[in-house]
Amino acid sequence: MPHDPHSRAAFATRQVHAGSAPDPISGSRAQPIHATSSYVFESAEHAAAVFAGDEPGNQYGRMHNPTTDAFAARVAALEGGVAAVALASGQAASAATLLALARPGARVVCSTNVFGGTATLFRRLLVPWGVELVQAPPEAEALGDALDERTVACWVESVANPSGAVPDLPRLAERCRDAGVPLVVDNTWGCAGYLCRPLEHGATAVVHSATKWIGGHGTFVGGVVVDGGDFDWSAGRVPALSEPDARGRTPQDRHGSAALAVRVHELGLFTLGATLSPFAAFLGLQGLETLDLRVQRSCDTALELAHWLAEAPAVKRVVYPGLLEHPSHEVARRVMRNGFGAVLAFELADEASARACLDALALVSHLANIGDAKSVAIHPWTTTHQGMNESERRAAGVTPELVRLSLGLEDPRDLRADLAQALHVAGVCS
């Protein structure tokens, strides 16, 4: 990734400036949207050099776009990575990362507390491909004990969806480092580094659903993979990142510290074509410019409402790492910054009460997303995590009576009023 003059600037400055500059042709201060499928070469010699990788340049729109590159570079700068790849969705980002690391006969260790779509990805893609999946609770020692010589990745979420479990990332990174295993952290709930920066805690790579807080307005679907750039691939744990080519050069020889990012780019974009539209990348850049402002307000509201819900008679339990009683509270205080996240969950008397509460909400939207400027809620048991069996759902912190609530930018008083009337309906129905 080219040197960014804003790399040492404060987070708020990087989220506005990193990865882009005034357009040298038009003078446009906003990042232009490069709506093109292809690029003109200077000569046949130039085209051959670009395709051979001997000269920098854009080959084709499936894998290269200046708008998308600017978006990826900005996320990399916020997370503290050496390079990033933007893809068509968070699911595509996860899939490309796993394909870059795994192979038939390999082993992946994964937290039991993961998003339902991630669990489906493991079950439908990796396991039939011949990859052994081992799951353990999101605790450093439990996950660390599951690592062995065949393990090519340890996968966790910085803040688990929807249990709010926060793994001890520094300790887990130490266990992974001792075992020679890459640590991949889904940092979607860490909000592009504003709430959590896993690479600083020793993670190898970070993945994001950019659809959520990065975009922040529910207007596009996208994903990002960020390479931390400090894992030594030469040990051969991942052959695709250590074996020499016909000219005797390893991926690290060719691409330096960004070897993983290049591998993800080759598989996710060049091979599979999980390409992020430049229009979506532009929306991602727009979202990043106000990231800290939006996330801080949503986190403040989440903490306020978590305390209020904990006192509500109809609520059986509130799940939020910002509460003292949450099992991950002390770890979250060490691993996170600026707040404890913008999502909470609460349990009512039973599943019927949870559904009645959702049906009664008026200001809060009932939909399958988080990280929106608008507050949204859903019933994970029957939607986002329904593809998991009952024991898997419960292990992930999902119960039939649980409602997940992602806080947006509305006035907390209005949200409280909407929740109060919905809880009243739920109480009547229970």
Encode pLDDT of 10-56 as tens digits.
999 999 999 999 999 999 999 999 999 999 999 999 999 999 888 99
- Residue 291 CA: distances (Å) to CA of 110, 186, 199, 246, 249: 29, 18, 19, 45, 40
Per cent of the chain over pLDDT 70 is: 98
Model-wide pTM > 0.85: yes
Instruction: Report the side by side order of strands in the sheet with 151-157.
Output: 83-87, 223-227, 205-209, 183-186, 151-157, 107-111, 132-136
Are residues 192 and 199 in contact, defined by beta-carbon separation less than 8 angstroms?
no
Locate 143 and state its tokens: 């996950």
Please give the residue that has the higher pLDDT: either 246 or 119. Answer: 119
- Residue 251 CA: distances (Å) to CA of 110, 154, 266, 356, 397: 26, 21, 12, 55, 40
Q: Kindly report which listed range (78-92, 195-209, 227-241) carries the lowest average pLDDT score.
A: 227-241
pLDDT of 427 higher than 90: no
Distance of alpha carbon 19 from its chain centroid, rounded?
19
In the predicted model, what is the mean pLDDT of residues 175-193? Answer: 98
CA angle 351/405/296 to nearest 5° reads: 165
* Range ranked top by mean pLDDT from 6-10, 175-179, 249-253: 175-179
The region that residue 338 occupies, defined by phi over 0 for left and psi between -120 and 50 for alpha, beta otherwise, is: left
pLDDT tens, position by position, 288-307: 999 999 999 999 999 999 99
Q: How far apart are the first and last CA of the chain?
A: 56
Whether the link from the prior residue into 162 is cis, omega within 30° of 0, is yes
Distance of alpha carbon 186 from its chain centroid, rounded?
4
Collapse the DSSP code of 189 into the 3-class scheme (helix H, G, I; strand E, B; otherwise coil) and give the result: helix
Distance of alpha carbon 396 from its chain centroid, rounded?
17
Spell out the residues 6+ positions from residue 14 whose beta carbon is closer than 8 angstroms to its own.
Answer: 6, 7, 74, 77, 78
Locate 220 and state its tokens: 């596009």
Binning pLDDT at 50, 70 and 90, where does residue 262 land?
A: very high
Burial of 95 (0-12, 13-18, 19+ CB in 10 A): buried
pLDDT of 251 higher than 60: yes
Distance of alpha carbon 362 from its chain centroid, rounded?
29
- What whole-number distance in Å separates Cα of residue 429 and Cα of residue 357? 9
Collapse the DSSP code of 48 into the 3-class scheme (helix H, G, I; strand E, B; otherwise coil) and give the result: helix
Spell out the residues 6+ positions from residue 172 whose beta carbon is closer than 8 angstroms to its own.
Answer: 140, 143, 144, 154, 156, 183, 202
Domains and CATH numbers, the chain: 11-288 (3.40.640.10), 291-429 (3.90.1150.10)
pLDDT of 263 higher than 90: yes
Q: Which residue is associated with the tokens 């979506």?
A: 280
In the predicted model, what is the mean pLDDT of residues 339-344? Answer: 98
In the predicted model, what is the mean pLDDT of residues 205-231? Answer: 98
- What whole-number distance in Å separates Cα of residue 336 and Cα of residue 355? 32
Q: Report which DSSP code applies to 108.
A: E
What mean pLDDT value characterizes the chain? 95
pLDDT of 3 higher than 60: no
Q: Which residue is associated with the tokens 């969950």?
A: 345
6-32 as b/e: b if 16+ CB within 10 A: beeeebeebbbbbbbeeeeeeeeeebe
Strand-pair partners of 151: 107
Binning pLDDT at 50, 70 and 90, where does residue 385 land?
A: very high
- What whole-number distance in Å separates Cα of residue 36 and Cα of residue 282? 14
In the predicted model, what is the mean pLDDT of residues 257-261? Answer: 96
- Residue 31 CA: distances (Å) to CA of 20, 68, 210, 216, 283: 7, 10, 18, 18, 10
Distance of alpha carbon 29 from its chain centroid, rounded?
28
380-398 as b/e: b if 16+ CB within 10 A: bbeebbeebeeebbebbbb
pLDDT of 226 higher than 70: yes
Locate 223 and state its tokens: 């994903």
Q: Which residue is associated with the tokens 């490309």?
A: 96
pLDDT of 428 higher than 80: no
In the predicted model, what is the mean pLDDT of residues 145-173? Answer: 97
pLDDT of residue 248: 82
Max Cα-Cα span within the chain: 75
320-335 as b/e: b if 16+ CB within 10 A: bbbbeebbbbebbeeb
- What whole-number distance in Å separates Cα of residue 86 and Cα of residue 265? 8
pLDDT of residue 254: 85
